[in-house]
Amino acid sequence: MCTSIIEIARAEGMAKRGDEWFPLSLAVVAYDHARHAPLGDVITLDFINITLDPGARAGIELTLETAKELRAALDRAIAAADFEEAEVRGKGAVLSLVRAAS
Amino acid sequence: MSFYRGMTCENVTIKGDQGTPITAYVAKPSGPGPFPGVVLIHHLPGWSEFYIETTRRFAHHGYLAICANLYERAGEGNPDDVAAKVRADGGIPDAQMVGDTEAAVKWMRAQPNHNGKVGLFGSCSGGRHAFIYACQKREVDACAELWGGRVVMGKEELNAKTPVAPIDMTKDLSCPLIGIFGNDDRAPSPEQVNQHEAELKKCGKTHEFHRYDGAGHGIWYWHRPLYRPEAAMDGWSKVLAFFGKHLAK
């Protein structure tokens, strides 16, 4: 690979290809030249299952700027979700969020 | 007239690394030959249309050409999806690439109308791979490395699949090398290209490096915004002249 900027994370859930959903095993984040987007270098997100055929993949190419916006949106949604979890279940969340929810 | 030369194209199965069967696309110019050969090593985006077309382009210019699918073990599918699966698996081992490429070189040398000369051609990760192969084996006569990333590698980048930085293999380079690079590229960066060339000079290796202003990575990729037509055509002429010089018999 031309850049060595790649991060691989476990992924539990499902992704869609065409009309079908498939179970995920990995989320791969990289920064490299775009394959499809009419851009130079991009953040690529691949949600895949390497135990299935290569088509078991939801691929995304994002500009660095909009990838940062996605990261911020994820952070906000995850913080809110942690808050919700704390409120509903009362445990398993960050202590400060549990206090905030009470 | 050779400009309107016909060709035959097909897929063949070759015995890749450790005897694993892999598919290779071959293009053979019409006529009795003998023809020089080019072994293409595809880039990180996989065994893609660009590489299939480039294989035919070499045949158009009078070369027997072969491009093996280095990602065959990941399964069949759209080249992008296959490449993504390979990336998720941390890429392919350098040693496996050498075994697969060796099979392609053997196929070339077995062709009855081959002139006995073999050139290697690769871009992006394929450029890096071509350089590695030309350092580890002594059976090719010329090597074209186009914007090969990660020839220069930090110790922290080395792992079981890429155990040695290619730049550290330079002393073993077995044939003349041509390099094509964009000065706006960051992988390899101009500084890394300079390091690469300095090592070649230090080891007394025959080489020619061509650097293009206003161009980054993937200068020849006509389907990408990275395409730079003037630099691409100049680079093509340099590579064809280089192969013409070193692969003639």
The verdict on A55 and A76 lying in the same domain is no
Minimum distance, in Å, between the CA of residue B212 and any CA atom of chain A? 17
| Mean per-residue pLDDT, A93-102 | 52
The verdict on A49 and A70 lying in the same domain is no
The verdict on A4 and A51 lying in the same domain is yes
Domain span including residue A56: 1-62
The verdict on A58 and A68 lying in the same domain is no
The per-residue pLDDT for range B175-220, each reduced to its tens digit, is 999 999 999 999 999 999 999 999 999 999 999 999 999 999 999 9
The verdict on A19 and A51 lying in the same domain is yes
Q: Where are the beta strands (DSSP E) in chain B?
A: 7-15, 21-29, 35-41, 64-68, 114-123, 142-146, 177-182, 207-212
The yes-or-no verdict on residue A101 having pLDDT over 50 is no
Domain span including residue B184: 2-246
| Residues with Cβ within 8 Å of residue B51, at least 6 apart in sequence | B25, B40, B42, B43, B67, B126
The per-residue pLDDT for range B98-151, each reduced to its tens digit, is 999 999 999 999 999 999 999 999 999 999 999 999 999 999 999 999 999 999
Residue of chain B minimizing CA distance to A52: B75
Q: What is the pLDDT of residue A85?
A: 82
Domain end, chosen from A30, A45, A62, is at A62
The verdict on A50 and A67 lying in the same domain is no
The verdict on A14 and A49 lying in the same domain is yes
The verdict on A25 and A57 lying in the same domain is yes
The per-residue pLDDT for range B37-66, each reduced to its tens digit, is 999 999 999 999 999 999 999 999 999 999
The yes-or-no verdict on residue A23 having pLDDT over 90 is yes
The verdict on A18 and A42 lying in the same domain is yes
The yes-or-no verdict on residue A99 having pLDDT over 60 is no
CA torsion, points A52, A53, A56, A57, in degrees to nearest 10?
120
Residues on chain A touching B215 (C-beta within 8 angstroms): none
Q: What is the CATH number of the domain that holds B39?
A: 3.40.50.1820
ipTM: 0.75
Q: Which two tokens stand for residue B20?
A: 């694993």
Residues on chain B touching A36 (C-beta within 8 angstroms): 80
Q: What is the pLDDT of residue A102?
A: 43
Residue of chain A minimizing CA distance to B149: A2
How many domains are contained in chain A?
Answer: 2
